[in-house]
C-alpha cells in the first residue's frame, strides 16, 4: 500500500461556495512535506490541467497523480451525455499523467443534500427499485469507456448528499454494475456519514474494493448538526470530518479488514473541511499521515 492525500484536506472542494481556496503550489508543497507519496486531482482547474505542466509540478515534489474524483449526473438518463463528456475530460488528463484510476460518484441534487446523513429519509427519497438497472447500466457504460479508451480502472464512490449514500444504495449500485468494470471506492467517512459500517462493507465486498479514502467522522457532532437541520455541506463545513483517530472510525479495524482481503492499492487520506489562508494546514496533514503510518505500517 502507498499513501496519498487529496486537496479537500486543504479545503479545496468542487462544491460552489465551499470556502477559500489555497494556492495549488502550497497544497502540493505541504503534501510532500507531510510525507505523502501522491495526490488526487481535486476539482477540475485547481491543479494545472495541461499534462506537461501537471507532470512537472508533481515530479518536482516527488508526488504521483493517483486518481481523480468525478461527480457526474447519473440519475437522469437525459444527462448521460454530460456525464460522459466530463468523464472523458478528466480520464484523459489522468491517463496522460500516469494515473491509474477514475473515481466516479453521483452528483446528487438539492433534495439529497437536505436529507443527507439521515438513513430513514434517504431510504424514502432515493432511486426507485425499478430504476436501478438503468442507473447501473449507465455507470457500467462510463466504466467501460474509461477502461477501453484510457486504460484506467473505475471505482464508484458512495458520497453524502448523493443518490448512492446509504447502505442499501451501495448494495444496489454494486448489484446492478459489472464487477469486472466497476470497483468500489471504500470511503470510510462517507460510509459512516450515510449510516453504514465501513469495516462490514469492506469485508462483504472485498473483491470490489479498488480504492480507499481514509476519512474520520465525529458521529455525535454529526447527529447534533443533523438534528438542527444541517445539509451535507453544512455538516461537512462545521467540523464533522476530523483528523484520523479523533472521531468515530475504528481505523485499526479498517486496516485489519483491508489486510485480510489483500488490498494493495492506494490509501488516500482526506479530511473534508474549510480552511483559511492563515490556518496551519501542514500540521494536521502530518498528523493524519502519522496516524496511517502507525496503524497500517506504511
- Distance, in Å, from the CA atom of 283 to the CA atom of 25, rounded to the nearest integer, reads 17
Note whether 109 and 151 are within 8 A (CB). no
CATH number for the domain spanning 117: value is 3.20.20.150
The four Cα atoms 158, 159, 165, 171 give a dihedral, to 10 degrees, of: 0
Note whether 41 and 30 are within 8 A (CB). no
Residues of the chain with pLDDT under 50: none
Give the H or E element holding residue 210: strand 209-214
Q: Could you give the C-alpha distances from 80 to 13, 145, 173, 242, in angstroms and in order?
A: 23, 13, 17, 35
For 50, the grid coordinates are 495541461
Beta strands in 60-142 (DSSP E): 64-72, 101-106
Task: Domain of residue 46: give its range.
Answer: 2-296
- Distance, in Å, from the CA atom of 279 to the CA atom of 192, rounded to the nearest integer, reads 27
Query: How much is the pLDDT for 100?
Result: 94
Q: Which residue has the cell 437536505?
A: 114
Q: Which residue has the cell 440519475?
A: 75
pTM (predicted TM-score): 0.96
For 42, the grid coordinates are 481535486
Contacts of 236 (CB under 8 A, 6+ apart): 160, 272, 273
- Distance, in Å, from the CA atom of 187 to the CA atom of 268, rounded to the nearest integer, reads 9
Query: How much is the pLDDT for 29?
Result: 98
- Distance, in Å, from the CA atom of 112 to the CA atom of 224, rounded to the nearest integer, reads 19
Query: How much is the pLDDT for 99?
Result: 96
Query: How much is the pLDDT for 76?
Result: 94
Give 70-98 pLDDT, tens digit per residue. 999 999 999 999 999 999 999 999 999 99
- Distance, in Å, from the CA atom of 55 to the CA atom of 110, rounded to the nearest integer, reads 36
Note whether 243 and 271 are within 8 A (CB). yes
Number of domains in the chain: 1
Q: What is Dmax (Cα atoms) for the chain?
A: 50
Amino acid at each position: 500500500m502507498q499513501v496519498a492525500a487529496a486537496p479537500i484536506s486543504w479545503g479545496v472542494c468542487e462544491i460552489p461556495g465551499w470556502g477559500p481556496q489555497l494556492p495549488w503550489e502550497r497544497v502540493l508543497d505541504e503534501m510532500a512535506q507531510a510525507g505523502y507519496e501522491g495526490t488526487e486531482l481535486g476539482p477540475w482547474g485547481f491543479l494545472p490541467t495541461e499534462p506537461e505542466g501537471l507532470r512537472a509540478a508533481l515530479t518536482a515534489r516527488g508526488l504521483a497523480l493517483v486518481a481523480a474524483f468525478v461527480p457526474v449526473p447519473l440519475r437522469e438518463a437525459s444527462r448521460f451525455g454530460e456525464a460522459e463528456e466530463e468523464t472523458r475530460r478528466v480520464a484523459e488528463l489522468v491517463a496522460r499523467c500516469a494515473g491509474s484510476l477514475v473515481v466516479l460518484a453521483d452528483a446528487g441534487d438539492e433534495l439529497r443534500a437536505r436529507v443527507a446523513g439521515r438513513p430513514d429519509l434517504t431510504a424514502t427519497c432515493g432511486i426507485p427499485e425499478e430504476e436501478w438497472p438503468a442507473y447501473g447500466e449507465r455507470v457500467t457504460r462510463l466504466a467501460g469507456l474509461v477502461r477501453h479508451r484510457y486504460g484506467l480502472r473505475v471505482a464508484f464512490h458512495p458520497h453524502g448528499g448523493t443518490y448512492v449514500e446509504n447502505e442499501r444504495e451501495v448494495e444496489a449500485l454494486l448489484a446492478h454494475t459489472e464487477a469486472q468494470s466497476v470497483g468500489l471506492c471504500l470511503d470510510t467517512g462517507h460510509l459512516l456519514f450515510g449510516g453504514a459500517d465501513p469495516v462490514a462493507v469492506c469485508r462483504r465486498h472485498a473483491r470490489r474494493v479498488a480504492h480507499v479514502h481514509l476519512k474520520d467522522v465525529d458521529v455525535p457532532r454529526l447527529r447534533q448538526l443533523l438534528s438542527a437541520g444541517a445539509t451535507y455541506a453544512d455538516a461537512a463545513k462545521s467540523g464533522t470530518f476530523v483528523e484520523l483517530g479523533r472521531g468515530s472510525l475504528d481505523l485499526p479495524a479498517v486496516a485489519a479488514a483491508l489486510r485480510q482481503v489483500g488490498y494493495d492499492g492506494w490509501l488516500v487520506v482526506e479530511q473534508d473541511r474549510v480552511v483559511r489562508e492563515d490556518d496551519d494546514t501542514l500540521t494536521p496533514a502530518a498528523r493524519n499521515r502519522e496516524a496511517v503510518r502507525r496503524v497500517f505500517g506504511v
